[in-house]
Structure 1
Amino acid sequence: MRLLRDLHHALPERHRHRADDGRPARAGARQGLLSRRAARGGVPQSFPQFGAAIRPDVRTWHDRRLQAVERRHARRFQAGPQALGAGQAAPSSVVHQGQGGGAKNLPALPEGGIDVRLSYYPGCSLTGASREYDESVRETMALLGVELQELDDWNCCGASSAHMTSHELAIDLGARNLKLAAEAGDDLLVPCSACFQRLKAADKALREDPREYDLDSYAPGFEIVHITSLLAGQEMLAKIAAAVKRPLDGLPVACYYGCLSLRPPKITGETACEIPTRLDRIVAALGGRAVAWSHKTECCSGSLTMARPDISRRLIGDIVDAARRAGAKALATDCPMCQANLESRQLDLTGGDAEQALPVFFATELIAQALSDEAGGKRWKGHLIDPRKLFAAAQPETAL
């Protein structure tokens, strides 16, 4: 179906594509999913509501689907644990994205116990395609004495889709998560670069004009912390270096930052967005060598990998070629989208030959491997490019 619509204004009354427009000419008061859930007691009435007005038939269809899901969950919950399949847990709510879905059998906390407690926002990618990132984050934090408390009932940050469609929706999605973090009371750790940027954008918007989002005031008592900023602090780096059991033995790594955790600086607060060094310092603390190269902050194409694979292949090819010229044997990043693009498009460029591609690590994977007592290959099962070839000649005590 051909669907043409203006993302900022409703189509004129007599426009030939008026029937396909998602909003009437006069958008009413903000009434969306959270508004209806608030009426049923699902969320506090004082929380800012979101949702652009949509066609009545679309809203009715959406309501029926939502109600059907809620009824099904209610029946399963009332039936008791015996009605659930093996490995299933009783559901909590439709918005809920799950708790404790990360790595199992985490290592015991180091001697001295917990040094710090943080709220944790994993985001959608870390519970889906980038589960290995979530697992390595949880393992790394446990090894370093950091307790993570996953936000209860968190929702999607909106990523690129929401703020490209509706600024108001994008802020409200982030604001709901910020409200949950404020209730938890601890600083909020965010591994995903896209989630970090969207939560920071919502935080900035609420600070500047809370009344625009139906709040009398907004003065949170917590900070939004990107995981690389936490790990690259001087005290944490010293702790990492002292705990290394399997150093990288000078492995040349190209540290790739991408876009979203750094830019725009007016949102992220980054002061070195063009020449960042945090990942470089982490690699050095693990005994590796962070190479100097030209493309550490170039765009990987983001979601264009689906819409314009030709652009994605060109950008990824430039990044990988630059890393090779600098002598890198692997790349390290802290962004789920970047990691997925760098792996998948490399295979596309090499015709599926993984032997010709550079492995792409999450920085927390390298930390967890270097600090852990286990040297198994389970960490790399989710990778399209097997990184174990890098360490085939290493000594048993340092092999990955």
Structure 2
Amino acid sequence: MEEKFLKVTQEGHFFDKHKSVLIAVSGGKDSMNLLHLLYKYQDILDIRIGVAHVNHQQRRESAEEEVYIKEWSERRSIPFHVSYFEGTFSEEAARTMRYDFFAEVMKQHDYTALVTAHHADDQAETIFMRLIRGSRLAHLSGMRVVQPFASGELIRPLLPFPKSELMNVPHFEDESNYSSLYFRNRIRNDYLPLLVNENPQFTSALLHVGKESELLHQALRDLICHIDVTNLQDFQAQTVAVRYFLLQHYLEEFPELQLTRDQFDQVLNILEKRANYQHHLKGDYYLIKDYQRFAITKIQPKTDRQEEEYVIESEGVFQHGSFIFSLNEPLEQPDQIIYLQVHQPILLRGRKAGDRILLHSIHKKIRRYFIDQKIPQKLRDTAIVIEQEGKIYGIANMVASDLSKSAKNDIIKATLYIKMKE
């Protein structure tokens, strides 16, 4: 087990970019195996380890487990971090509290990876639970070995190993694991054994379903990477089947937005129609759609600082917001120059939900551009988008799109000079 673990970990390059690793340790057989393995191989893997433990305070043995893990860590000069669950206990509340605690420890102590002891049996249980709950095919891929988490990554190096391969290291048995009150326990202790009795390979079959689902969706992502999903012309040009998975892929950008099947079908139906539309989804999420594009966004209330739209239809000098604009008449020392098409109105407006700008051949959300460039909120609120024929050519005094750069090479072009007002 030890040598196999080291081989899988090295070949998977799980810790290549990590130096400080936080291990979630409950005291059970799974997590004590993980702790033993990472402690033994930390020099070979070139990592520094720390231990995080949550005392859920639900059993008499909880205090004993905490003391044991703390002393085990301290004898080996391993940092030990502990927190205590408070409030009304439930599986979901406990899980949320644990991962919030892990994220906070990572932030405070500069850990770049959280490592948990989920193994192949846990994976099969997770896939089966999601199947029973009616999860989408995309979610049947189960847990990923490595995924983004908090300020770094969440790594599950034991996922390739069934529980039967784990070593018999000192650990605690949690009697609550046999309680039928919890859904996962019923899966583990009742449902799966019954089905394994019918088909001894049932657990392996579940894992194959998860792996095939993961490969299928990765293949889809590879095939649709060139499609601008929120461009309605591109979206509606696809087959019904492709549109279905394009929308699923887009929704992955909003992990907090869990649409029901009916809600998903409703959004799909809206996108297949041509009319402008604004539709409340759930919580503070909205679907915004016009004739060219759609977006899912959290709508921010309009403020007095947002400017009304302004249309430039002829040459001359104009004032709008905090800027002076001049079409085809050079300004002295302009702050920015935008090139556009001739004989077409130019719209100056505030930004809208779902706005995208073409930068370096990629359609990038303006919201994401603001975040990446760390644009202050005040400037975001007063930003002026320069649009022509439904396409964004730039943002005043911030950036010009690839469209402007292309227009610059045209023999006949319109030139918009921009300067901040004194």
TM > 0.5: no
Structure with greater helix share of residues: 1
Q: Higher strand share goes to which structure?
A: 2
| TM-score after normalising by structure 1 | 0.23
Larger RCO (CA under 8 A, 6+ residues apart) = 1
